Amino acid sequence: MQVLRPISEKDFAALKTIAIESGHGFTSLPVDDDLLSSKIARSEQSFAKTVAQPKDEGYLFVLEDSDSGEILGTTAIEAAVGMQTPLYHYHLGKTVHHSRTLNVYNTVDILSMCNDYTGASEICTLFLREPFRKGLAGRFLSRSRFNFMALHADRFSDTVIAEMRGVSDEDGHSPFWQWLQEHFFSIEFPQADHLVGLGDKVFISELMPKYPIYANLLSKKAQAVIGQVHEKTKPALRLLEKEGFEHRGYVDLFDAGPTVESRLQNIKTVRETKRGAVRIVKPEELNLTEAQTWSVSNCGLAHFRATFDTQVNWCGNTAAFKVTADIASALQVSEGDEISGFIL
């Protein structure tokens, strides 16, 4: 059984393996022992905190095979971005150059640096290791975050964003960054990307152009990737679009990948999630004639657990979930406890 749970100190080696496997462009997990250790410690502190409103908490989860103990992937939620370190984006807008005298009317795309998402919650760090990218595991990793946020809504903003990885080649070089590097910087994209992952963003405010950039002055290759996602990120983007996330013109400063957003209560998983009491039954007592795969979780915080299986029945008339003993054990719940669930 695959179980999602909060990360702990004992998962350091597995998290480092994931950081190595994720490759270039995955800025939230740089290969740095100290930073990875601090991320785990920060997550443990966030789960343990009493919170009245979202601040600088970060919740990091791992997906574990309950039989082997192997870590299959990870995902995370930032409670409120930009509160300690500025979060920069470019916003793609338009300006008009019009001369009635010359009968000229030109609309030009411009990129303006901003901090518009300060205070928003961010879903991030979703990575499923290559051997386990089959079935519903990826969808489960993505959607379970929204279930957790709905269960603990006071810990998160009403605006939820996701920064999508932009276009880069197999060596980690970004066409968009190459134009910026040529005109404003003297470092390669992987180095800039690594600095951001380490939290060192001072150089952005020091060297980034302060005024809007006319998009038509960029190279053709740079223009072509604005708002586009990396090939490996397309499945994740499709999942978020099905949840109701939209791109509203905000892109990453370095690779021009899109940032998508939604209101928490408008997210499909949040709207479809049901809550009810646990009823532990034998497998033969379940009605599986029209088997559906359910994602189910307990309603805990530091002891949050979630899994997915077909051995689940929702009883709407009694507001209860019928589950097997194995599932109840994986969720660490007993008869009568409240759990949450949605159809994957």
pLDDT in tens, 25-83: 566 788 889 989 999 999 999 999 999 899 989 999 999 999 999 999 999 999 999 98
Instruction: Grade residue 194 by pLDDT with cuts at 50, 70 and 90.
Output: low
Mean pLDDT value of segment 261-278: 97
**Pairing mode, if any, of strands 159-163 and 121-128?**
parallel
Whether residue 58 contacts residue 111, with contact meaning beta carbons closer than 8 Å, is answered with no
For residues 37 and 10, give the distance between their C-alpha atoms in angstroms, rounded to a whole number: 10
92 DSSP β-pair partners: 111
Of the listed ranges 39-43, 128-132, 290-294, the least confidently predicted one is: 290-294
Share of the chain above pLDDT 90, in %: 66
* pLDDT reported for residue 191: 66
- Stated pTM of the model: 0.89
Q: Is 152 assigned a catalytic role?
A: no
Signed CA dihedral, 269, 273, 278, 283: sign only: negative
* pLDDT reported for residue 256: 92
Mean pLDDT value of segment 172-180: 81
Whether residue 233 contacts residue 165, with contact meaning beta carbons closer than 8 Å, is answered with yes
Reference 58, options 74, 71, 34; nearest CA is 74
Cα-based torsion angle of the residue sequence 264, 116, 110, 240 in order, rounded to the nearest 10 degrees:
-20
Mean pLDDT value of segment 165-179: 81
SS3 assignment, position 181: helix
Q: Which two tokens stand for residue 274?
A: 């049901």
Of the listed ranges 127-136, 156-165, 173-182, the least confidently predicted one is: 173-182
* pLDDT reported for residue 24: 61
- Does the structure show a pLDDT above 60 at 198? no
Choosing from 97, 230, 247, 303, the catalytic residue is 230
- Does the structure show a pLDDT above 60 at 181? yes
Give tens-digit pLDDT for 236-249. 899 999 999 999 99
Higher pLDDT, 39 or 199: 39
Whether residue 54 contacts residue 79, with contact meaning beta carbons closer than 8 Å, is answered with yes
Whether residue 235 contacts residue 128, with contact meaning beta carbons closer than 8 Å, is answered with no
Whether residue 1 contacts residue 136, with contact meaning beta carbons closer than 8 Å, is answered with no
What does pLDDT average to over the chain?
Answer: 90
